């Protein structure tokens, strides 16, 4: 089968969508398919900046959210041109990765399947990009509904998104949880000292690694709030964040206010190929996601990668995290926004490293059995075949 994966966002970039595309491509190719990716990055830079991004900035100055909607529509227009050109090469199916890419792909004449990674409208509200109840928010929601109805098959990455689409449109999606490259993300704990030396961390530090974009819904402020209690018993504890985002200044200010700034490290954006080294140098991984404007964490790729890398994981009991982690069996789940529960869990795993290792070993076995990119590719293939039969 000749498959085109397409997105109106940048590829490659540092983020879950880019990881998903790379990993899915690898899995599908392992099954003998020919796979190509087209993205907004393939649009000439002058158009990306001058036609799409520039006017959006000015429009947002006049009315919040109007520039965001403008950007999405212009991205669709530019991608539509690219997809039509690419489709002449004879693809069997296009797998669109977002609402406006679905629109861009439909006019190509090639069958389209859509993967839904989240909630376009509610995520825009959560980020403060659009205002709840505004005309822009309503337009985005209507675009979502139209997109899900127009595509041949919908794939969702967790059951909540599947239920959301069913409620909004009556369309029944196919739930395929996120997945990882189990050959790349594997335990490298025996190299911990080596990686700590590489990134200039002390060998005796107790490192909590937070592999999250620094945005509100990822709950990244909470490890900082929990850290003072941890430091009372474990003065060598350190929280390391890998990511960038609008919460960075707030997090730095809070760490300084609490007197823990010297035990918090923000390494910024980390190339995905290096992430396994950060997991290996860590004692525990944290995925502290929260509810935000109706948005919940899907099947977190960061959580899956931590589990696949053989590191004990603490996560908040929200969204898809509750689906992939069995509390006390292959990780620890805590109530979201509960600082005391989070600090207690962090202390528990530092006090009982053997328990942490047991959780990590069980998690790795689960990831290999249920969340490998090989197994996911087989499931995607079946959906493609189903779509082609329509």
User: Could you read off the pLDDT of 86-115 as tens digits, one per residue?
Assistant: 999 999 999 999 999 999 999 999 999 999
At a CB cut-off of 8 Å and minimum separation 6, what does 358 contact? none
The whole-number pLDDT of residue 313 equals: 98
113-145 as b/e, with b when 16 or more CB fall inside 10 Å? bbbbbbbbbbbbbbbebbeeebebbebbbebbb
**Of residues 99, 100, 105, 113, the one with CA closest to residue 86:** 105
Phi and psi torsions of 342, nearest 5°: -65, -45
Stretches in the chain below the pLDDT threshold 50 = none
Domain 2-179+372-388 identical in fold to domain 189-370: yes
Residue boundaries of the structural domains of the chain: 2-179+372-388, 189-370
Tell if the pTM clears 0.85, that is, is over it: no
Q: What is the DSSP letter of 293?
A: T
The whole-number pLDDT of residue 51 equals: 87
Report whether CATH 3.30.565.10 matches the domain 2-179+372-388.
Answer: no
pLDDT in tens, 272-325: 889 999 999 999 999 999 987 666 666 789 999 999 999 999 999 998 899 899
The whole-number pLDDT of residue 88 equals: 96
Radius of gyration of the chain (CA): 21
Residue 239 · residue 210 · CB < 8 Å: yes
The whole-number pLDDT of residue 100 equals: 97
Q: How many CB atoms lie within 10 A of CB 269?
A: 14
The whole-number pLDDT of residue 297 equals: 67
Strand order from edge to edge, sheet including 93-96:
34-39, 2-7, 93-96, 112-116, 153-156, 174-175
The whole-number pLDDT of residue 200 equals: 97
The whole-number pLDDT of residue 90 equals: 96
Phi and psi torsions of 97, nearest 5°: -105, 5
The whole-number pLDDT of residue 135 equals: 95
What CATH number does the domain located at 189-370 have? 3.40.50.2000
């Amino acid at each position: 089968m000749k498959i085109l994966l397409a997105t109106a966002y940048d590829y490659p970039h540092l983020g879950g969508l880019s990881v998903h595309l790379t990993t899915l491509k690898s899995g599908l190719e392992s099954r003998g398919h020919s796979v190509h990716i087209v993205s907004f990055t393939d649009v000439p830079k002058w158009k990306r900046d001058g036609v799409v991004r520039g006017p959006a900035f000015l429009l947002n100055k006049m009315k919040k959210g109007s520039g965001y909607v403008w950007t999405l529509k212009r991205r669709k227009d530019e991608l539509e041109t690219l997809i039509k050109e690419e489709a002449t090469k004879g693809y069997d199916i296009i797998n669109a990765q977002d609402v406006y890419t679905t629109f861009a792909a439909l006019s190509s004449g090639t069958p389209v399947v859509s993967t839904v990674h989240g909630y376009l409208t509610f995520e825009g509200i959560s980020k403060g990009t659009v205002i709840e109840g505004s005309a822009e928010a309503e337009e985005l929601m209507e675009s979502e509904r139209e997109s899900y109805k127009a595509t041949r098959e919908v794939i969702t990455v967790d059951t909540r998104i599947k239920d959301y689409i069913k409620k909004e449109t009556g369309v029944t999606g196919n739930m395929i949880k996120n997945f990882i490259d189990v050959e790349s993300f594997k335990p490298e704990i025996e190299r911990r000292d080596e990686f700590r030396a590489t990134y200039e961390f002390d060998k005796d530090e107790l490192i909590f690694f937070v592999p999250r974009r620094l945005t509100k819904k990822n709950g990244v402020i909470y490890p900082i709030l929990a850290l003072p209690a941890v430091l009372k018993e474990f003065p060598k504890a350190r929280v390391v964040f890998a990511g960038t985002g609008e919460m960075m200044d707030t997090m730095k200010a809070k760490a300084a206010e609490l007197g823990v700034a010297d035990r918090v490290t923000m390494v910024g954006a980390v190339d995905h190929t290096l992430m396994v080294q950060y997991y290996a140098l860590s004692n525990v991984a944290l995925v502290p996601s929260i509810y935000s404007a109706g948005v919940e964490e899907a099947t977190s790729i960061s959580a899956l990668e931590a589990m696949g890398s053989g590191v004990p994981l603490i996560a908040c009991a929200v969204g898809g995290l509750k689906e992939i982690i069995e509390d006390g069996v292959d990780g620890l789940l805590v109530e979201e926004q509960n600082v005391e529960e989070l600090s207690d869990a962090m202390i528990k795993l530092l006090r009982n490293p053997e328990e942490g290792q047991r959780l990590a070993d069980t998690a790795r076995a689960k990831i290999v059995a249920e969340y490998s990119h090989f197994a996911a590719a087989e499931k995607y293939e079946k959906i493609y075949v189903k779509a082609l039969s329509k």
